[in-house]
Amino acid sequence: MRVRYRVLTVVNDSIGLSLKSIPSWFSVRFWLLRIGYYKLMRPKIIAEDWCWILDHTIQLGRTKCLLILGIRLCDLPISGQCLRYSDLEPIDLIPVETSTGEIVFTQLEETIAKTGVPKVILSDYGSDLKSGITSFIQKHPHTTYISPLSNRKKIKLILAVAKTFKSIIIQIRIISLIE
């Protein structure tokens, strides 16, 4: 934020713009927070094709937040393009001091009022999240829960593929020696 203020000052002085005052870094930060608050609080489209992405924030003191971001499946980027932050819509940010499966389930049920029942929920294997999502899916069976592979599982998968590949290479070498 402070850099933006300095850059605006340099640009103003070197180009000779007639800006009488340049917004301070604090003002820029304040407006960014207002934009974020607006995006979080504005009404969302009620639809059946929402994908929710859930995670808990890092705990600060006794409080952490359940963050729910979303994107409609019809708005996903075309094949070959990556999902960007600008594609996501902040749906909810719920502070909690304790989190259990029951609390997560209740939070998800309350979030339905903002977007409707989601088609897909993505989240990690946090025990409270997984438990709450499992209860949610039992009540809403058309919702699918997807959990990304953990790093440990990815490494095991890569190693398994590498071992298979290595054994195939060895077999090819043996066959080429025989022939």
Nearest to 47 by CA among 79, 70, 77: 70
Give me the mean pLDDT over the 131-144 stretch: 95
Domain ranges of the chain: 1-42, 45-148, 151-179
- pLDDT of 4 higher than 70: no
- pLDDT of 173 higher than 70: no
SS3 call for 11:
helix
Output the CA torsion sign for 125, 107, 115, 89. Answer: negative
Strand-pair category, 144-146 with 120-122: parallel
The band of 163, judged by pLDDT with boundaries at 50, 70 and 90, is low
Q: Which two tokens stand for residue 161?
A: 């593929």
What is the CA 104 to chain-centroid distance, rounded?
Answer: 17
- Decide: 114 and 41 in contact? Cβ < 8 Å: no
Give residues with Cβ within 8 angstroms of 107, minimum separation 6.
66, 92, 94, 96, 132
Nearest to 107 by CA among 51, 144, 54, 146: 54
Tell me the C-alpha distance between 59 and 126, whole Å: 14
Tell me the C-alpha distance between 55 and 59, whole Å: 12
- pLDDT of 133 higher than 80: yes
For residue 103, the 8-state DSSP code is H
Please indicate, yes or no, whether the overall pTM of this predicted structure exceeds 0.85. no
Give me the mean pLDDT over the 79-106 stretch: 90
| Domain made up of 45-148: CATH architecture | 2-Layer Sandwich (3.30)
For 29-87, write each residue's pLDDT tens digit. 777 778 888 888 999 999 999 999 999 988 888 899 999 999 999 898 887 788 888 88
